[in-house]
Amino acid sequence: MKVWYSEISFSTRRRSEVVDLTDQILQEVRKSGIRNGLLVVNLPHATACLTLNEGESGVKNDLLRKLDELVPPSGNYEHDRIDDNAHAHLKSSLVGTCRVLPVVEGRVVRGTWQNFLVVEEDGPRTRRLSVLLMGE
Ligand code: ZN
């Protein structure tokens, strides 16, 4: 079994935004040469999220708006006593930061409308995404 690892660096430009990294991730899958196995994508950050969904602007805006409704940026958060980003930590915990997908015959098995979307909640900043492939 082969194991292949890489990291994708990217910058966010706003406090809150959705970044579509599908093209970059699929490029890493091609570079790995692994045709059958597992793709593990992890966002090693506590104030951003990783989800799979449609990369359409309306979906992106709806996602940001709904997360703000569920976890308003300002609230009576204990963490805000030392850092002003408690809402971002909570959103990251709710949505998650890691996804695992099968790779079959060189293709990542995913739905037509399942793009890899990073939800930034504490930008702007430089982020990285880890990409691990295991297989043959
Ligand atoms: Zn914090």
**Each residue of 72-81: pLDDT tens digit?**
999 999 999 9
- What is the model's pLDDT at position 96? 98
Q: How far is the CA of 80 from the centre of ligand 1 (A)?
A: 7
Q: How far is the CA of 79 from the centre of ligand 1 (A)?
A: 7
Name residue 15's amino acid: R
What is the band of 135 on the pLDDT scale with cuts at 50, 70, 90?
very high
pTM above 0.85, yes or no: yes
> How many whole angstroms separate alpha carbon 131 and alpha carbon 95?
18
Contacts of 8 (CB under 8 A, 6+ apart): 21, 24, 25, 28, 128, 129, 131
Q: How far is the CA of 83 from the centre of ligand 1 (A)?
A: 5
Residue pLDDT, tens place only, 6-65: 999 999 999 999 999 999 999 999 999 999 999 999 999 999 999 999 999 999 999 999
User: Does residue 91 contact residue 54 with C-beta atoms inside 8 Å?
Assistant: no
Q: How far is the CA of 48 from the centre of ligand 1 (A)?
A: 11
Q: How far is the CA of 29 from the centre of ligand 1 (A)?
A: 32
